[in-house]
Amino acid sequence: MAAIPVGALEQSADWEVPEQQIGLWQDAWHRFRRNRLAIVGATVVLLLVVIAITAPLLVHFKLIPDPYTQQVENIEVGPVTAGHLLGTDELGRDTFSRLLYGSRVSLAVGILVQFIILPIGLGIGLAAGYFGGRIDNILMRFTDIWYAFPDLLFVLVVVSVFQQYTFGNVIAQMVMIFGAIALVNWVGLARLVRGQVLSIKEKEFIEAARSSGSPPMKLILKHLLPNSLGPIIVTLTFGIPQAIFLEAVLSFIGFGIQPPTPTWGQMVNSGYESIYANPSSVVFPAIAIGFTLLAFSFIGDGLRDALDPRMRR
Amino acid sequence: MAVISGRPARGALLPSRLVSLGNSRTGSLVVFIIRRILWLIPILFFVITITFVLMHLAPGSPWDKNGGRQLSQTVVNNLNARYGLNKPVYQQYGLYLWNVAHFDFGLSYQYQGKTVSALLLEGWKYTATLGTLAFLLIVPVGVSLGVLAALRQNTRIDYITMGFSTFAASFPNFVVGMLMVVAFSVLLYKWTQGSFFLPSADFALDDHLVLPVITLALFPIAYTARLTRASTLETIRQDYIRTAWAKGLPERLVVIKHVLKNSLIPVVTTLGPLFAFLVTGSVIVEQIFNIPGIGRAFVTAVASYDYPMILGTSILFAIVIAIANLVVDVLYVFIDPRVRLT
Amino acid sequence: MAQTLLQVEDLHTQFFTSRGVVRAVDGVTFHVNAGETLGVVGESGCGKTMTALSILRLVPDPGRITSGSILFRSKDVTKMTDEEIREFRGNDVAMIFQDPMTSLNPVTKIGPQIEEAMTAHDRFTEALARGRVVELLKRVRVPAAESRVKDYPHQFSGGMRQRAMIAMGLSNEPSLLIADEPTTALDVTVQAQIIQLMKQLNRELGTAMMLITHNMALVASLCQRVIVMYAGRIVEEGPVEQIFKSPQHPYTWSLLRSVPRVDEARKDRLVSIKGLPPDLSHPPPGCKFHPRCPFVIDKCKVDPEPELAEVGPAQVARCWVLMRNVKDEDVTAAKQSALSKDAVAKLKEPTGQVSGNAGG
């Protein structure tokens, strides 16, 4: 109900794609900037990225202790002791530097997993939407079944199976874990893409029906990208904390990236043993995980509000 | 008569009594339920197959992890024969499917002589209690918070409840669980004397559930609250709410019979996935608080390559989730009269 | 002697938005007599709906009634307590809305929705109400009323839904029924039926009615008096025959051009006057209608509209020009095109200003 009288409504023709999009991105950027939480989130993430990149440098220049060095004489000391800002873990490794190094794994998991999800989700969504009919039906049933099974359990099983093959090889471990996480999380993107393709087909179909049998893929892609780029980005952004969470849980149960590579989930796991003696070994990585997830959620919320087509003036 | 235009007519495969029901809404409902139950079969099939395949892709055998002792080859051969592991894979698969159809999930590899079913039954009461309590906490608390925030939009209550929700929703449950353990046991030790909240070797159902349930329920509460709030805000702006006010209805009636009756519908649809979440969550929470439930059993089974146990647990989880989704879908049909049963 | 049922006095309803203050209802004064049907016409956004909502104190956020009084049987609605207004709504004054699909609760059956309108005011017990619902539906010509009460809104057709809404509105025998565009959301054929129904009900029940619409044909067939609103104010008011015969405000005149006439081959269509309604948070200087007025003179661009002045028996209008001062050839020219700049140049100084504009 239009309670407040407004001026003329500008209707843009659906087939006009180009110049308006530039305005949309600038507009979105302005709206994003005004969202304080989103800016806070973005700042935190930026900080994390800086930390992740520079951590090895800091170790190289002896600004922080090496996270892999085990000091038997200094096991499980509390914060600010013997040169260890946040204490050490059960093998005498410095908690602070392990914390900093942990950001590398978390960021890698979050971001790289999305790169794997993107082709899978895009591919299946496009196929389902474009071909329609039986293929769509089969694919959708497939995704429904896939979706029905709890993600953690599936990842656990996959990881446990392949873990033995990757023993000692960090890169291989990462590939395996990232792959497993991506495998359970692509459904959302696929459904989104399919929905977008279907709605485009609805529009283009009327025109294209006159020329050839089915609308050419190129036409669909041309319209898919500008319209759906927003929601796709938002979905992927929300996927980052999901992936980080899953990896942390895996590490916590012991099936994630194996030591000595530090990950936050692992730190929580091992810190749990000594939770009464040295609670800081649990608290700090736990908070790190929490705040990272929070930061990405804020960014996701901010992006979603900024890119919401309904709020275009 | 049974086949019209290439597809069986609605009642063709059903007994006649069901056909006569098929035309009323209740009748369609029955058909709907039956179809959904039948749908369970391909799902289970899929779950079993995938898990089975993955299990047999793993290198080594379940006996490698046997307490670090190196078993002699004869012992290993005996064990393999006893558990049927020396047969070709496809035979094992077929045999397993046959057994499952008869509710026989085999013997666990870890615990000599115990059947998977028995183990599942043991752990079930813990997990079920945990899950049920969490559910009973989540729905009233989550919905109430959401409704409250929506009705008092942009006031302090709104900001507090939603801020809390966002915060709680962002911290993974094991983080929260950890922090709570730290808080209650370490920092507040004076008050709790280490009892009442803590994980302990001796797990009694009654007094040690407060923290685990809260840990499990926190995220879903936050999520439900946010969803309820959004849905309620959306509903309040609808024209029919304006009509309700224009009729001179008291506020209580407008809120309950008009606003909530509509705004809670989307919330109900999330109850299905909620169950899936509770299942995953219980795995984590049982680890933290050392609860001997099915979640923890699953993790140990995975770690020890106890194939039957892994398969059995997966099947159990799949069934629970599928049934939960079915119940929710049926409930949805009842609460939204616009839904048509196809 | 006509008894005044509702007296609205200098009503101001404003919206406080981030883009500025929108003066949706900008000093509106009118009255409704018992038993009569008053038409309220104007384009979307002119404030007619907001006026109606103000009467029931249903103005949505961020809007508020900022000043003025609304006297219903000498009791001021704006000063009523919450309980009093609750009793008032749906009981003394009822309102039915434009789109019956969205105005009815989709998950509740029709019967209970109408019942609760009655039980909320303690005038009927539940049992009595249930029986009366069927009666009411029959009265509004809903076929198979007994079984229809158990249906949901989406199972009704558009016309039937609107009938159900009318039944709901009349269930407590209100003295005044406000109908906001009751036929706009309906098919043309169904519109005619609803209009017939409303005429019949008006005859049978004697309920006063405030009919809000932009459709002049509706006004012609149902109303005795009509007020014309533009940009939150009343620009003309008077008995229907007079207004139709000689509208004095150019806006009224433009609206009437859309009434289908036997002697002109013109299809019935929604009013389209050149230009768009003004942005009420930043209205144009001078008369708010001047950018779209076919007969605008310089004075209109500078001075705000005059007060409402009598232009005929019981007819008032606010305009510097007034249609009776416009030359015939300019009228013809304006008829042919909505954009008649030549008419402006040819207008002589309005002599009407001396004799016609008696103050207030």
**Which pLDDT value is given to residue A211?**
62
The string of DSSP letters for C8-26 reads EEEEEEEEEETTEEEEEEE
Please give the share of chain C, as a percent, with pLDDT higher than 70.
Answer: 87
| Cβ(B15)–Cβ(B21) below 8 Å | no
Q: Of the candidates C291, C341, C289, which has an alpha carbon nearest to the alpha carbon of residue C317?
A: C289
Coil, strand, or helix at residue B110? coil
| Cβ(A178)–Cβ(A114) below 8 Å | no
Q: Would you call the peptide bond into C62 cis, given omega within 30 degrees of 0 as the criterion? A: yes
Q: Is the pLDDT of residue B22 over 90?
A: no
Q: Give the pLDDT band of residue B18 (cuts 50, 70, 90).
A: very low
- Mean pLDDT across chain B: 76
**Least confident range of A80-84, B87-91, C141-145:** A80-84
Q: Give the pLDDT band of residue C112 (cuts 50, 70, 90).
A: very high
Pairs from C82-85 (Cβ < 8 Å, separation ≥ 24): C85/C56, C85/C57
Phi and psi at residue C65, in whole multiples of 5°? -75, 120
Phi and psi at residue C180, in whole multiples of 5°? -95, 105
Q: Which residue has the tokens 């946040």?
A: A86
Whether residue A4 and residue C24 make contact (CB cut-off 8 A), yes or no, is yes
**Which pLDDT value is given to residue A205?**
59
Q: Is the pLDDT of residue C174 over 60?
A: yes
Q: How far apart are CA C23 and CA C281, in angstroms?
A: 7
Whether residue C276 and residue A7 make contact (CB cut-off 8 A), yes or no, is yes
Q: Which residue of B170, B182, B283 is in closest CB contact with A294?
A: B170
Q: How far apart are CA A128 and CA A140, in angstroms?
A: 7
Q: How far apart are CA C329 and CA C336, in angstroms?
A: 11
Q: Which residue of A3, A7, A8 is in closest CB contact with C63?
A: A3
| Cβ(B47)–Cβ(B318) below 8 Å | yes
Q: Which residue has the tokens 């009224």?
A: C252
Residue pLDDT, tens place only, B30-43: 888 888 788 778 87
**Which pLDDT value is given to residue A55?**
83
Beta strand C315-317 pairing with C233-239: antiparallel
DSSP C59: P
Q: Give the pLDDT band of residue C307 (cuts 50, 70, 90).
A: confident
Give the Å distances, CA to CA, from C170 to A205, A243, B242, C45, C163. Answer: 48, 59, 17, 27, 11
- Put simply, whether C152 touches B (Cβ < 8 Å) is yes
Enumerate the residues of chain B whose CB falls inside 8 A of the CB of residue A294.
Answer: 166-167, 170-171
Cα first-last separation, chain C = 24
Please give the share of chain B, as a percent, with pLDDT higher than 70.
Answer: 77
Q: Of the candidates C38, C43, C8, which has an alpha carbon nearest to the alpha carbon of residue C232?
A: C43
Q: Which residue of C22, C46, C276 is in closest CB contact with A4?
A: C22
Q: How far apart are CA B125 and CA B131, in angstroms?
A: 10
**Which pLDDT value is given to residue A128?**
84
Phi and psi at residue C9, in whole multiples of 5°? -125, 110
- Angle, helices C188-205 vs C158-170, to 10°: value is 20
Whether residue B242 and residue C103 make contact (CB cut-off 8 A), yes or no, is yes
Q: Would the CA dihedral through A274, A280, A281, A287 be positive or negative?
A: positive
Q: Which residue of B242, B248, B338 is in closest CB contact with C86?
A: B248
Q: Of the candidates B145, B75, B129, which has an alpha carbon nearest to the alpha carbon of residue B289?
A: B129
| Strands (DSSP E) found in C182-337 | 208-213, 225-230, 233-239, 309-312, 315-317
Residue pLDDT, tens place only, B211-258: 788 888 988 998 899 889 989 988 998 999 999 999 999 999 999 999
DSSP B258: I
Q: How far apart are CA A143 and CA A137, in angstroms?
A: 10
**Which pLDDT value is given to residue C324?**
79
Q: Chain-centre distance of CA C279, in angstroms? A: 20
The string of DSSP letters for B206-244 reads TTT-HHHHHHHHHHHHHHHHHHHHHHHHHHHTSHHHHHH
CB atoms under 10 Å from CB of C160, counted, come to 21
Torsion on CA atoms C37, C40, C44, C45, rounded to nearest 10: -130
Closest residue of C to B243, CA-based? C103
| Cβ(A106)–Cβ(A247) below 8 Å | yes
Q: How far apart are CA C202 and CA B76, in angstroms?
A: 96
Q: Would the CA dihedral through A204, A210, A213, A219 be positive or negative?
A: negative
Q: Chain-centre distance of CA A151, in angstroms? A: 15
Å between A217 CA and nearest CA of chain B: 32
| Cβ(C247)–Cβ(C204) below 8 Å | no
Closest residue of A to B59, CA-based? A164
- Mean pLDDT across chain C: 82
**Which pLDDT value is given to residue A287?**
85
Whether residue A249 and residue B179 make contact (CB cut-off 8 A), yes or no, is no
**Which pLDDT value is given to residue B249?**
92
Task: Name which of C22, C101, C229 to mutate to probe chain A: the one with the most chain A Cβ atoms within 10 A of its Cβ.
Answer: C22
Q: Would you call the peptide bond into A226 cis, given omega within 30 degrees of 0 as the criterion? A: no
- Put simply, whether C63 touches A (Cβ < 8 Å) is yes
Q: Is the pLDDT of residue B108 over 90?
A: no
Mean pLDDT, residues B53-60: 70
Give the Å distances, CA to CA, from A301 to A26, A294, B103, C197, C360. Answer: 18, 10, 47, 51, 56
Q: Which residue has the tokens 């600038």?
A: A26
Q: How far apart are CA C313 and CA C310, in angstroms?
A: 7
Mean pLDDT, residues B96-114: 73
Q: Which residue of A148, A153, A252 is in closest CB contact with B298?
A: A153
**Which pLDDT value is given to residue B9?**
41
Pairs from C110-116 (Cβ < 8 Å, separation ≥ 24): C110/C148, C110/C149, C110/C150, C110/C151, C110/C152, C110/C153, C110/C156, C110/C164, C111/C149, C111/C150, C113/C164, C113/C168, C114/C149, C114/C164, C114/C167, C114/C168, C114/C171, C116/B247, C116/B249, C116/B253, C116/B257
Q: Is the pLDDT of residue B327 over 80?
A: yes
Whether residue B243 and residue C104 make contact (CB cut-off 8 A), yes or no, is yes
Rounded to two decimals, what is the model's pTM?
0.78
Whether residue A283 and residue B179 make contact (CB cut-off 8 A), yes or no, is yes
Bridge partners of C225? C38, C239
Mean pLDDT, residues C124-151: 89
Q: Is the pLDDT of residue C143 over 50?
A: yes
Enumerate the residues of chain A whose CB falls inside 8 A of the CB of residue B44.
Answer: none
Whether residue A5 and residue C22 make contact (CB cut-off 8 A), yes or no, is yes
- Sheet with C4-17: strands ordered across: C20-33, C4-17, C63-72, C75-76
Burial class (CB in 10 A: 0-12, 13-18, 19+), C266: exposed
**Least confident range of A223-227, C192-196, C303-307:** A223-227
**Which pLDDT value is given to residue A231?**
83
Please report which residue ranges of C206-340 form alpha helices under DSSP H: 216-222, 240-245, 250-256, 298-302, 328-336
Element (H, E) at A263: none
Torsion on CA atoms A193, A198, A204, A207, rounded to nearest 10: 160
Residue pLDDT, tens place only, A266-309: 888 887 777 777 777 788 888 888 889 889 988 888 888 777 66
| Cβ(C129)–Cβ(C213) below 8 Å | no
Give whichever of A191-195, C152-156, C252-256 has the largest mean pLDDT: C152-156
Coil, strand, or helix at residue A27? helix
Residue type, A106: S
**Which pLDDT value is given to residue C239?**
93
Torsion on CA atoms A155, A158, A163, A169, rounded to nearest 10: -70
Bridge partners of B313? none
What does the pLDDT profile of chain A (313 residues) look like in tens digits?
Answer: 333 333 333 333 333 344 455 566 777 777 787 778 888 889 999 999 998 888 888 777 776 677 777 766 666 666 666 666 777 777 777 778 888 888 888 898 999 999 999 999 888 888 887 777 788 888 887 887 777 677 888 888 788 777 777 777 778 888 888 888 888 888 888 888 888 887 777 776 556 655 665 556 676 677 677 777 888 888 889 889 889 988 888 888 888 887 778 888 888 888 777 777 777 778 888 888 888 988 998 888 888 877 766 544 3
**Which pLDDT value is given to residue A174?**
84
Q: Which residue of A153, A162, A248 is in closest CB contact with B172?
A: A248
- Angle, helices B210-236 vs B173-181, to 10°: value is 130
Residue pLDDT, tens place only, C204-245: 888 899 999 888 888 888 899 999 999 889 999 999 998 888
Length of chain A: 313
Task: Please enumerate in sequence order all residues whose Cβ is within 8 A of that of B94, keeping only pairs 6 or more positions apart, or say none.
Answer: none
Q: Which of residues 73-112 of B touch A (CB under 8 A)?
A: none
Residue type, B8: P
Q: Of the candidates B267, B303, B297, which has an alpha carbon nearest to the alpha carbon of residue B282?
A: B297
